[in-house]
Structures are given as structure tokens and as C-alpha cells.
Amino acid sequence: MQLFLLLSLVTLPVGEARINGLADAGVTIADQPLALYVNPALLTSTSDSKLLFNPVGFRFEPQERRGENVLPRVFGSYTGVGFVGYTQPFGDFGAGLAGFQDEARAHGLLLGAAYRWRFLQTGASLGIRYLDYDPGPDESRLKPAFALGISIPDIKFEDVPGEISVAAAVRKAEWSAIQVGMDYNIAFFRFLTNFNLREPFREETRQGTVHLAGLFSFKDLLGIPFEVGGGWASDNRFGILTAVDLNLCKINLSYSKIPASVVQPNGRVAFSFLFNIASTKEVEERLASIESEKQTKNRITSKTYTTQGIDSYNDGAFDDAIHAFDVALIWDPANDEALNWLQRVKEEKRTSELRALIAAANAAIRTQDYLEAMSKAEAALRIDSTSTQARSLAEEAQRKFSESILTQTSSVRNAGEINALYQKGLEEYAAGEYKNAAETWEKIEKLQPRSRTVQTYKKKTSEKLGQQIAEGMKRLESLERKGQWLKALNLAKQLKALAPSNREIAAKITSYQGKIHSSASDYETQGIDYYNRGYYVQAQNSFYALLAVDPDNATARGYLERINSKLQKKDADELYLQGVQAYTNNNYKQAINYWEQVLAIDPSYGNATRNIQRAKEKLEQLK
């Protein structure tokens, strides 16, 4: 609920500085407390405590009065304070009290309330007006006044850039009026259009006016907290507005002319001050509440991934479990349960893989397949370089391999050269370099054409090479589903080197190149569109995606440099979450980029530094 209390000291000037400068095109954006008069629904459009101070302003006097003394003219132009208002937000409700001076030379008070339900804002106000003149013997100087309003702010359409707000209000003050309007906000520009129908139920006095206004914000365009705008209406009123937002105080200065007004027959300079007010304790409590809510959400998400990891572990899917626990720790580095599970699963996976490789090496030695025995033993040592059993098996396989080769080549010419090639082939095979091993067996075959051993090794290596290519093709399918075309292209080129005559791989390379070109164009267009609309985080996402398919793209790098200077502290949370998402999708380099942006905005941002270190460790593991 939002509680809004205004104390009217003297009178409210005709309109308010900001609304005057926009030629009364304010049914969608009227600042409190003027919302009580223009559109009470807007009472719920703020979540900050505010103090609004509005002097009446200075009137330019007519030509025939310029001969008078200056001082009386100057002092007579100021009639006092317009109003002082205070707002204290509290949920989805709003209430207010305001004093006003209308265009028919009357002062009044309005009491109103408003409610926000999802995307819809509604409000109403009721009050009285006191006429400054005698209306006649049969009429009272006290007149009723009321206003009803509705507003739907910040509507977004998929194919339309920017945001659209619509609003409507019905009021009875100096006359009955219906006012409807639309506000189109795109990047640094805001266009306002209102239609005001006076006395809609009295045909002889009915009058419709169109109000148009534009407002430029240099804060989004140049980083300067300054606005300039103006408006015009079909009844020949017009206004010019300048405003500066100093965070704690927003100052509006305008010049306006309202030809139909009794109170303001000539141009008026007006200014208003809108203060954001909060005690140090309130600020600290609000920040603590926001941080607590964020941490709670992070812990819940982390717990969800922890549960997912445990389920994967119970199903025997160690890799999926490790990934889930790893992501859980990104969301909440203090999650001891996820950390303990991660260490446990990694150790069990390591032990299981090591045991399986040692068993396979033993079995290969028993069948005198020393090539396979050496391959399995070396793989075991890559998991645990301190394993004495794996090292013993590797040495045994090496020794017996050498003995068998020496037995076969002892009486062969060029025995030394052939033995050296056998040793080289063994090392290549054990390291998984099957293409190189196959080439080495070819060299031996030329020196020892009828060797059954070489024929056996060629066959085994060919089978391993086929398995390597088949696994690569499965990885290509996974990358295709994820749309990671650059990674797919790089992998396809590696597979092409293993199988130069494979037409399917060649076709995939051509397809990936086309996909990269197409997606690069789409990402570039999308990024520029987001940037022009002022959605800098979304623009950054698009340009990072562009660099993922085209790392040397100058356009993307240029826009990213410009975006860096526009990101604000409020963007840090969104950038942090983008980094978490990138990490979850195994895009560790992109995650680091996001988190470094977070630290550039807020060096003290929790977990960002720690998560960067985790991402860098992941990149090292992939090398």
C-alpha cells in the first residue's frame, strides 16, 4: 500500500511546471500530487518517498502595464507556495490530498486513492472548489470536484520497439472533461499524445482539443541527467520544458501559455522541485531487504540444482551430477551440501574410471595386446599420475611390446629404424593420436611389407579412428541443437583432418559457415536495435553472441565499448545473472566477460570474483 499525504499551503498554480511545459499532455505521466487532479491512477506509479515543492511562478505582464514600477510588478507576480507534498510508498495502494488552482480562477482541495492490480492502475479523487469571484446571488462559491482515472503503463509488443503506456481520466473541476492519452517511449525519446473533450454532455459548449508533446532524455543518450521537451495543443496553448534530475531532487523549469485561462492570460515561467526522500535507516533497510531477497532466491535456485545433482548421481550419471553441483555453487558459493557432493562425486568418478582402466590394461596384457594395454595404462596415469599400479602396467606393457617387436625384427634389415617407428606408433596410439599412429604404421609397412603385426595395428588404429570420428559426429549433433555454430565448425574441421574424404563432414562445414554468416547478421541487427532502444544489457547479449560466431567482428567490439560506459549499478544484477546462465551453458569465457562487467560497475559485488576464478579453472581443464 502506498500512503500519500499532501499539505497545501496556498494554492496550486494552473497545472504544474512539468505539465505546463508539455502543454497539458500529462494523462499518462503526471507527477504526484498533480495526479490527483489529472489522473488519480498515477498515484501508484511510484515506489519512492517524495516531497514536491512548487512555487506559483512568474507571470509576464501585458504590454500596457510595462510602464509601472518594476518592484511592484515583480513582487506582485509571486503569490506564494503552490504546495508541499509527501509520499510514503507501502504496497499497491495510494492515497493523497492536494490543493489546486484551476483555469477558472478557483482554489480547491482533492482527496483521492488509487490501487494497482497487476498491469492495471485505477484511482479516484473527490473534493471541493472555492471560487475567487462572486458567481451571483443564486450560486454558492463552493463547488464539487472529482476525478476518475485508469492507466496501463509500459506495454511491450514483440515487433514494436520501445514501450507504450495508455491512460484515461474523467474529471469535474472548472468544467467536465474526458482526457485520454498514449505515451510512446523509445530509447531517449518520449512522444505524448492526448485528446481532451470538455463538457462532453453539453452540446453548446462541447470542445475537443488535441495535445501533442515530445521529451528528450540526454541521460540515456549522453549520460547527462538532463531533459528537454515541449508541447502544443489545438486550443493554441504551448509550452517549453527543461528538467534536470539530480537523483535526490528533480527540477522542472518551463515556459507556457494558456490562452483560455482566466488566471494565466499570458506566458508564465514556472518551476517545481520533486525530492526523493528517505532516511538513512530506511535506505539501509531497503537495501538489506533487497539483498536478503536476492540471496534467498539464490539459495533456492542452488538447492534446486543440488537436488538435481543428487538425482543424477543416483542414476549413475556422474557427469550430469558434477555439472549440477558446479552450477549450484555458482548460485550460492556457501552451499556446503553442494560442495561436499561435488567433491564426493568427483572422487567416486575418478576412482571408478581409474579402476576400469587398470582392469582393461590387465586384460589386454593377458591377451598380449600390448598396444591396448599401453593405451589404457597411460589413460589411467592421466587421471592419477601417482597410481603405482597404473605406472607398473604401463612399464610392463612397454617392456613386453618392445620384446615382441625385437623378436620379430631381429633378423630384418633396418631393424633399428623399424623398432624406433614401432615405439613412436605406440606412443601416438597411447596418446589417442590415431591419425598420426596410422601414418606411422604405413611407414613400417613399407619397410616390412608382410608383417602381420603391422596389419593388426593398422586395423586396431583404423577402428579407433572410426570411433573417434563417430563420437565427434555425435558432438556435432549436440552443438547443432544448441546453435553453437562456431564450435561446430571448428570441430568439423578437426574431423575433416582425420577423414579428408568424408563428404558428410565437408557438407557440414559448408552448412555451418552459412549458419554463422546468417546468425552473425541477425545478432548484429538485433544488437543495434536493442542499443538504439536503450536496452543496453540485451544489446550486450546480442553482441557477445555475435562475437561467439565471429570473434573478430569490429562492429560488436565497437558497440560493446560504448555500452560499457552506459551500464549503471542497477544493471549489475542482470549482468550477473547473464553470467550465471552462460556458465550453466558451459560458455565460460562469456560468463567471465559478464562478471568482469559486474565488477567494473560494482567492485564489491558478492560472488563475482569467486565465480570468475571458477570459470577460469573450467577453461584450464578444457585445454
From CA 559, how far away is CA 541, in angstroms rounded?
11
Contact 254, 228 (CB under 8 A): no
Domain span holding position 224: 3-278
Contacts by residues 506-511 (CB-CB < 8 Å, ≥ 24 positions apart) = 508/476
What confidence score (pLDDT) does residue 277 get?
A: 67
Per the structure, the count of domains in the chain is 4
366 & 396 share domain: yes
Short-list 439, 23, 548, 432, CA closest to 259 = 23
The answer to the question of residue 487 being in a domain is: no
What does the block give as the cell for 492?
568439423
Residues 6+ apart with CB under 8 A from 209: 195, 196, 198, 233, 234, 235
From CA 38, how far away is CA 83, in angstroms rounded?
16
Condensed to tens digits (0 to 9), the pLDDT of residues 288-323 reads 776 777 788 888 888 999 999 999 999 989 989 998
What confidence score (pLDDT) does residue 58 get?
A: 42
Q: How far is CA 477 from CA 195, 383, 480, 490, 608, in A?
A: 57, 28, 5, 13, 33
What confidence score (pLDDT) does residue 167 get?
A: 96
Domain final residue pick, 409, 438, 468: 409
Contact 190, 183 (CB under 8 A): yes
397 & 454 share domain: no
- Distance between alpha carbon 623 and the CA centroid of its chain, in Å? 30
Domain final residue pick, 278, 313, 345: 278
What confidence score (pLDDT) does residue 262 get?
A: 45
403 & 415 share domain: no
Short-list 566, 618, 622, CA closest to 597 = 566
Residues 6+ apart with CB under 8 A from 10: 56, 79, 80, 81, 82, 83, 99
The answer to the question of residue 113 being in a domain is: yes
From CA 372, how far away is CA 375, in angstroms rounded?
5
pLDDT under 70: residue ranges of the chain: 1-15, 31-32, 46-49, 52, 54-90, 101-105, 220-223, 260-267, 277-287, 290, 568-570, 623
461 & 359 share domain: no
Residues 6+ apart with CB under 8 A from 399: none
104 & 13 share domain: yes
The residues that bridge with 211 in the sheet, in sequence order, are 194, 233
- Which CATH number does the domain housing residue 294 bear? 1.25.40.10
Short-list 395, 444, 441, CA closest to 415 = 444
Alpha helices in 315-451 (DSSP H): 318-331, 336-366, 370-383, 388-409, 415-430, 434-447
46 & 177 share domain: yes
520 & 598 share domain: yes
Supply angle C-alpha 139, 8, 137, rounded to 5: 10
Domain final residue pick, 370, 389, 409: 409
293 & 349 share domain: yes
Contact 152, 121 (CB under 8 A): yes
The answer to the question of residue 488 being in a domain is: no
Residues 6+ apart with CB under 8 A from 225: 218, 219, 244, 245, 246, 247
Tell the residue number behind the cell numbers 579402476, with chain if given: 355
Torsion of the alpha carbons at 381, 386, 391 and 392, rounded to the nearest 10: -150
186 & 286 share domain: no
| Element containing residue 51 per DSSP (H, E) | strand 50-55
- Which CATH number does the domain housing residue 524 bear? 1.20.58
239 & 310 share domain: no
From CA 50, how far away is CA 89, in angstroms rounded?
9
What confidence score (pLDDT) does residue 604 get?
A: 79
72 & 11 share domain: yes
Please give the backbone phi and psi of residue 165, each rounded to the nearest 5 degrees, phi first: -120, 140
pTM beyond 0.85: the answer is no
Q: How far is CA 427 from CA 178, 388, 424, in A?
A: 87, 20, 5
What does the block give as the cell for 609?
570474483
The answer to the question of residue 232 being in a domain is: yes
HEC sequence for 411-464: CCCCHHHHHHHHHHHHHHHHCCCHHHHHHHHHHHHHHCCCCHHHHHHHHHHHHH
416 & 515 share domain: no
The answer to the question of residue 618 being in a domain is: yes
